[in-house]
Amino acid sequence: MNTLNKVKNAMFPPPAYSEDGRAQWPSRTSFLLASMGGAMGFGNMLRYPSQVYNNSGLQWFIPYLIAITCLAIPVLILEISIGQAHRSGTVNAFNALDKRLRGVGLGMVFTGYIVCVYYVPMLSWVWVYFRSSFQSSPFAWTGRAEDFFYNDVVINRESIPGVISGGSVQSYSSYPNTGVSGELIGWTILSWLIVWLCIHKGVSITGRVVYLTIGLPIIMTIILLGRGVSLENAGRGIKLYFGEWHSEKLASGQIWQDATGQVFYSTGVGFGYFTAYASYNSQFASAVQDSLIICTSNALYEVTAAFIAFGIVGYLDMMPSDSTEPLGTYSLGFLTYPVAIDQMPGAPFFAIIFFLTLILLGISSSYAMLDGLVTIICDSEYGRRYKHVTVASVCTVVSCLMSFMFCTEFGYDLLNATDRWANNIALLFAAFCECYGSTTVYRWADVAGQVGLPSFAVYNSGYLGGLVLGCAIAHSVSPSAGAGVGFGIFIVCTITALLLAKDPDSRAPRFFGKNKFLNRAWWLFFYSGNQLARDLNVTVATGKAWSIPPVWGVLLRYVAAPILGIIFSFSYPSFTPDRSGSLEIWGFTVAHLVLLTIIAAFLLPRFLDVLVPVERRAEGDRAYAPQVLLGAEDLRVSNGIETGTSSGLDSGSDKAEHEYESKSEK
The whole-number pLDDT of residue 636 equals 40
pLDDT in tens, 136-185: 778 999 989 999 999 999 998 888 889 988 888 889 999 988 899 999 99
Q: What type of residue is 288?
A: V
Q: Which helix (H) or strand (E) holds 419?
A: helix 411-421
CA–CA separation, 423 vs 119, rounded Å? 12
324 versus 299: the higher-pLDDT residue is: 299
Q: Find how far residue 206's CA is from the centre of its chain.
A: 20
Mind giving me the DSSP string for 343-389?
A: TSTTHHHHHHHHHHHHHHHHHHHHHHHHHHHHHHHHHSTTGGGS-HH
The pLDDT value given to residue 79: 96
Decide if 291 is inside a domain. yes
What percent of the chain clears pLDDT 90, i.e. is strictly above it?
66
Phi and psi of 541, rounded to 5°? Answer: -115, 30
pLDDT at 287: 95
Does residue 459 lie within any of the structural domains?
A: no
What residues make up the domain containing 315?
Answer: 23-438+551-616
Residue 666 within any structural domain of the chain: no
Point out the least confidently predicted range of 241-250, 297-306, 615-624, 632-641.
632-641
Question: Which DSSP category does 82 fall into?
Answer: H
What is residue 252's predicted lDDT score, i.e. its pLDDT?
Answer: 79
**Average pLDDT estimate for 2-11:** 61
> Number of structural domains, the chain?
1
Q: How confident is the model at residue 1 (pLDDT cuts 50, 70, 90)?
A: low
pLDDT in tens, 516-559: 899 999 999 999 999 999 999 999 998 889 999 999 999 999 99
**pLDDT at residue 20 greater than cutoff 80:** no
Mean pLDDT across 103-125: 96
Confidence (pTM): 0.91
Query: Domain for residue 419, yes or no?
Result: yes
Q: 188 versus 656: which is more confidently predicted? A: 188
Q: Which of 500, 541, 531, 537 is nearest to 438 (CA)?
A: 531
- Read off the pLDDT band of 5 (50, 70, 90): low
Flag whether 277 is in a domain.
yes
Cα–Cα dist 191/400, whole Å: 9
Assess if residue 229 is contained within a domain.
yes
The verdict on residue 642 lying in a domain is: no
Identify whether 312 is part of a domain.
Answer: yes
Residue 642 pLDDT exceeds 50: no
Average pLDDT of span 213-239? 91
Whole-Å CA distances, 81 to 105, 120, 626? 14, 29, 22
One-letter amino acid for residue 475 of the chain:
H
Tell me the DSSP string of 607-664. GGGGGS-GGGGGGGS----TTPPTTHHHHHHHH-SPPP---SS----HHHHHHHHHHH
Q: Which residue has the higher pLDDT, 186 or 623?
A: 186
**Calpha distance 643→631 (Å, rounded):** 11
CATH classification at residue 105: 1.20.1740.10
What average pLDDT does range 307-311 have in this prediction?
93
